[in-house]
């Protein structure tokens, strides 16, 4: 009887552990770093247009994107702040209210998706290929926002708008500070070696 009881307990424990190890529908969560200022290189495909550029997020609603490709967009910069969009190109600039920009404008949809999710304590979504996909809905349509396991932005898609954005070289203030510290340490070490090599040596008589 005791042996049967022990076997039942062991089986129950195994079932419990298995159930705890499996997340619901492959869902997972990670630290939310969307609320941090960051910069990144971005590749954009919208319908037949393919573009490259750099993007920066300074805070909620405060963004900047500058295009490097294609040639027709190279050098164009868009700055979003305080309800306005500032467009500039080769020293020329003009400002328009965000409300005048079509609701399906890619940047406004992307910004809203990030800013909305940045308010959450954690990011939760479906895990796939080492990334976490977060689904949502905006006035402009359904979207999927993708982050890596560190909670940093890696992609954004709106299938109905034929929009895909991929991010690389993502850097936050925290990462930049760490890199700056490492660079300072390396520089100090280099200076110490140089100083030691240059210092005169004395020999005992």
Q: Does residue 148 sit within a domain?
A: yes
The answer to whether the beta carbons of residues 77 and 94 sit under 8 Å apart is no
Q: What is the DSSP string of 81-131?
A: ETTEEEEEETTEEEEEEGGGS-TT-HHHHHHHHHHHHTTSSEEEEEEETTE
Per the structure, the count of domains in the chain is 1
Q: Does residue 197 sit within a domain?
A: no
Give the residue among 143, 134, 188 at the shortest CA–CA distance from 161.
143
| Distance in angstroms (rounded) separating the CA atoms of residues 153 and 76 | 23
Q: Does residue 119 sit within a domain?
A: yes
| Distance in angstroms (rounded) separating the CA atoms of residues 128 and 193 | 47
53: CATH: 2.50.20.10
Both tokens of residue 34? 């969307």
| Distance in angstroms (rounded) separating the CA atoms of residues 103 and 140 | 6
Q: What is the mean pLDDT of the chain?
A: 77
For 41-89, write each residue's pLDDT tens digit.
Answer: 999 998 888 999 999 999 999 999 999 998 988 998 999 998 888 889 8
Whether the ω angle into residue 122 lies within 30 degrees of 0, i.e. cis, is: no
Q: Does residue 8 sit within a domain?
A: no
pLDDT of residue 47: 85
- Range(s) of the domain holding residue 95: 29-180
pTM of the complete model: 0.69
């Amino acid at each position: 009887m005791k042996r049967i009881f022990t076997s039942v307990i062991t089986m129950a424990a195994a079932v419990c552990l298995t159930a705890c190890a499996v997340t619901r529908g492959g869902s997972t969560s990670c630290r939310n770093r969307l609320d941090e200022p960051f910069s990144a290189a971005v590749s954009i495909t919208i319908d037949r247009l393919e573009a490259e550029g750099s993007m920066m997020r300074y805070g909620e609603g405060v963004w900047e994107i500058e295009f490097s490709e294609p040639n027709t967009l190279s050098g164009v910069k868009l700055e979003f702040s305080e309800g306005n969009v500032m467009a500039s190109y080769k020293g020329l600039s003009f400002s328009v209210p965000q409300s005048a920009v079509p609701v399906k404008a890619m940047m406004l949809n992307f910004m809203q998706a990030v800013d909305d999710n940045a308010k959450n304590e954690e990011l939760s979504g479906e895990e796939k290929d080492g990334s976490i996909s977060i689904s949502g809905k905006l006035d402009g349509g359904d979207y999927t926002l993708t982050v890596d396991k560190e909670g940093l932005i890696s992609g954004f898609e709106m299938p109905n708008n034929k929009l895909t954005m991929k991010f690389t070289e993502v850097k936050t203030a925290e990462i930049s500070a760490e890199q700056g510290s490492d660079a300072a340490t390396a520089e100090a070490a280099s200076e110490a070696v140089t100083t030691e090599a240059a210092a005169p040596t004395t020999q005992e008589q």
